Amino acid sequence: MECSQTVTPTWTGEGPRLLDLALAKRLAEHLTRHYPGHLWAVNVDSHQGVATIQNMRLSGRWGFVLKFPDLTYEDEIAREAMRAGGELLERYRLSRGRFRPDEYEILRTNKIGDFILDAAA
């Protein structure tokens, strides 16, 4: 079975913040429900007030950093994560929705094989 999401714990001097890890997992699951088959990576750092969203099928270097002064409003964060995930797909000229291998086959790549982000999107 293929993994469709990854969750990265935020490390501090005391170890991972379990609430951050739990929220990151819920956000990754939310993204997977809306955009199934993509490889979503989510990291939450409540100390910094940010959540990062990436699609690892596309790039480990590009994504969104969502800033939240208060990470307790999970519904709002989930909506913003879904919007960011959809926008990331659109920036690569992919349709919002289920992973489609045929769309990935036509993506342009650079000299080192990374997919090229459409800066105009």
pLDDT in tens, 61-108: 788 999 987 656 778 889 999 999 999 999 888 889 898 888 888 888
Does 8 have pLDDT greater than 70? no
Reading the block at residue 94, the tokens are: 């992919």
Instruction: Confirm whether 119 is domain-assigned.
Output: no
pLDDT in tens, 24-51: 999 999 999 999 999 999 999 888 889 9
Q: Rounded to whole angstroms, how far apart are CA atoms 118 and 121?
A: 6
| The dihedral formed by the CA atoms of 43, 71, 67 and 65, expressed in degrees to the nearest 10 | 20
**Residue 50 sits in which domain range?**
5-105
Instruction: Confirm whether 73 is domain-assigned.
Output: yes
Residues sharing a CB contact under 8 Å with residue 23, sequence separation 6 or more, in sequence order: 44, 46, 51, 71, 74, 77
Residue 121 confidence (pLDDT): 46
* Tally of domains within the chain: 1
This prediction has a pTM of: 0.76
Residue 38 confidence (pLDDT): 92
